[in-house]
Chains A and B, each alone.
With several copies, the nearest count.
Chain A
């Protein structure tokens, strides 16, 4: 319960700001004792829940207690020029700076949303594609791109060095079996090919694909292309629940 509430705060400064705004406190004259106690209470709740997330809050709580203690000292500390130092000063400055960035963040959010109500041209609507299909995806390079590329190379190398040649059991599928299977799967109103073969082995995908083509040719199913260029839907044709395979062709199969 409380955790959900504290999760609403971006950090310790954000929580502190909440108390200040709630009580309409003058940020330049924070009643530290009261705020420190309230803050501590809020953090105590947090501590029960998630120590990791609490660390930053606990640090600030300690800072508040320290300021409170300094405020209680009978004689104020003096700076180089003999002026009394307000122990709250540094915290107030940080808080003010934080408030500014917080507002800036809100501002950016508004801009981002306004900007994204406008759509730029889609990537595919380009004559360049028709003239020369893109060979490689290209990037505008930054140092981070360089680092990411290095990461990718490392990942590939790690995979290669880790590769244990698993003896995969030989699987084989017969096209007529897959035809029946596809038909049974699409009877309810069709399915995308991607969904039909999701997480299946390569031979399964190949034979199922051949089975779908075969069924489409026999007009037992319809193949429908939609918005996804990498997938298509397989829809049943009313009344067809099986294909008569009494005729010619020998059973077609593929193996891993």
Chain B
């Protein structure tokens, strides 16, 4: 009985700490906080086991939340199924949508970090000033020091909050980009452009000039 009681207390403490935190909690921090109170030694692995037991209990008990692993930490969040109810009461989903320029800038920083602003601009072909500022303000991106080049430009990198807000445990959880041929052949890539296609191609007054010198493969 004694052992069961101890496990219960441990699991309860783990649950309480994760519940009460505003940010993903590292398992080590949970173990340390528990150890401080009880004067015992605990490791991250024990916390992970407790989380496994808790999530199993949530599943069988029909609880509306689970403990997730984001940004290297543990955080409680509602399950997908209750999303309709939650969004009915808290109508903020639309406001949370990110613009494409924000997403593009973020993608470049996420994969290329640490990276300077001129590098980001070069990849995107446009000035990313505004998008970058927005990302800093939303705490998706932070200043990570200075580069070596002329003027020692500021370097940018993603934050833990970025990982948390995108449901990633760590940076290496980012998917590796597909091969270029796959990408360009994928009809789902840019489906919204299909609509534009008709509009933009129809009224074009200037016809493509078939330059005789150009080796043009099929069409002419």
Q: Which of B21, B96, B200, B216 is A122 in contact with, Cβ under 8 Å?
A: B21
Write the chain B residue with the least CB distance to A29: B217
Whether A139 contacts B97 in the complex (CB less than 8 A), given A10-B126, A153-B108, comes out as yes
Stretch at the interface among A31-39, A172-180, A197-205: A31-39
Interface stretch (choices B3-11, B37-45, B48-56, B186-194): B186-194
Most interface-central of B26, B80, B125, B196 (chain A CB within 10 A) = B125
For A56, give its contact among B16, B99, B126, B190 (CB under 8 Å): B126
Q: How many residues of B contact A (CB 8 A)?
A: 83
How far apart are the CA atoms of A42 and B72 in the complex, in Å? 46
Assess whether A109 is interfacial by the CB under 8 Å rule: yes
CB distance from B87 to the nearest CB of A (A): 8
Quick one: given A98-B124, A143-B174, A161-B192, are A34 and B166 in contact (CB under 8 Å)?
no
Contact partners of B60 in chain A: CB under 8 A: none
Is A225 an interface residue when CB atoms closer than 8 A count as contact?
Answer: yes
The complex places the Cα of A157 from the Cα of B205 at a distance, in Å, of 19
Judge if B177 is at the interface, Cβ distance under 8 Å: yes
Interface residues of A in 1-44 (CB under 8 A from B): 5, 8, 10-14, 18, 20-23, 26-27, 29, 31-34, 37-38, 41-42
Best-surrounded residue of B25, B77, B110, B192 (most CB of chain A within 10 A): B77
Q: Contact check, B206 vs A117: say whether CB atoms are below 8 A apart.
A: no
Find residues 57-109 in chain B having any chain A CB closer than 8 Å to their own CB: 68, 70-72, 75-80, 83, 86-87, 90, 93-94, 96-101, 103-104, 106-108
For the complex, is B208 an interface residue (Cβ under 8 Å from A)? yes
Residue B180 interfacial (CB < 8 Å): yes
* A/B pair count, beta carbons within 8 Å: 306
Q: Does A238 make an interface contact (CB < 8 A)? A: no
Find A118's partner among B79, B106, B214 (CB 8 Å cutoff).
B79
For A149, the chain B residues whose CB sits under 8 A away are 100, 103-104, 106-107
Chain A residues positioned under 8 Å from B13 (CB to CB): none
Given A118-B77, A128-B90, CB of A27 within 8 Å of CB of B124: no
On whether the beta carbons of B216 and A118 are closer than 8 Å, the reply is no
- Known contacts A56-B127, A118-B77, A124-B23; is-contact A108 B103 (Cβ 8 Å): yes
Contact of A150 with B213 in the complex, beta carbons under 8 Å: no
* CB contact under 8 A between A142 and B166, given known A29-B217, A124-B24: yes
Whether B175 is near chain A, meaning CB under 8 Å from some CB there, is: yes
Cβ distance B210 to chain A, nearest Cβ, rounded Å: 8
> Residues of B contacting A251 with CB < 8 Å?
none
- What residues of chain B lie closer than 8 Å to A117, measured between beta carbons? 80, 83, 87
Query: B138: shortest Cβ distance to chain A, in Å?
Result: 11
- Contact residues in A for B192 (Cβ distance below 8 Å): 8, 158, 161-162
Across the interface, B29 reaches (CB within 8 A) one of A123, A145, A227, namely A227
What is the CA–CA distance of A162 and B195 in the complex, to the nearest angstrom? 13
Neighbouring B residues of A120 by C-beta, 8 Å: 20, 75-77
Binds B, one of A130-138, A182-190, A208-216, A241-249: A130-138
Q: Residues of B at under 8 Å CB distance from A? A: 16, 18-26, 29, 68, 70-72, 75-80, 83, 86-87, 90, 93-94, 96-101, 103-104, 106-108, 110-111, 122-127, 136, 139, 142-143, 159, 165-168, 174-175, 177-178, 180, 183-184, 189-190, 192-193, 196-197, 199-201, 204-206, 208-211, 213-214, 216-217, 219
- 27 A-B contacts (beta carbon < 8 Å): A10-B126, A12-B126, A18-B193, A33-B209, A41-B206, A99-B183, A105-B106, A111-B166, A111-B168, A112-B98, A115-B166, A117-B83, A119-B16, A119-B78, A121-B19, A128-B86, A130-B77, A139-B103, A141-B166, A142-B139, A146-B107, A146-B110, A149-B104, A150-B108, A154-B200, A157-B196, A228-B23
Task: Please name 16 further chain A to chain B contacts, defined as beta carbons within 8 Å, in addition to the given A103-B183, A143-B142, A229-B71, sorted by A numbering.
Answer: A21-B189, A33-B216, A34-B214, A41-B204, A103-B178, A104-B177, A108-B166, A112-B165, A114-B167, A116-B96, A122-B20, A146-B106, A147-B180, A161-B192, A162-B192, A227-B29
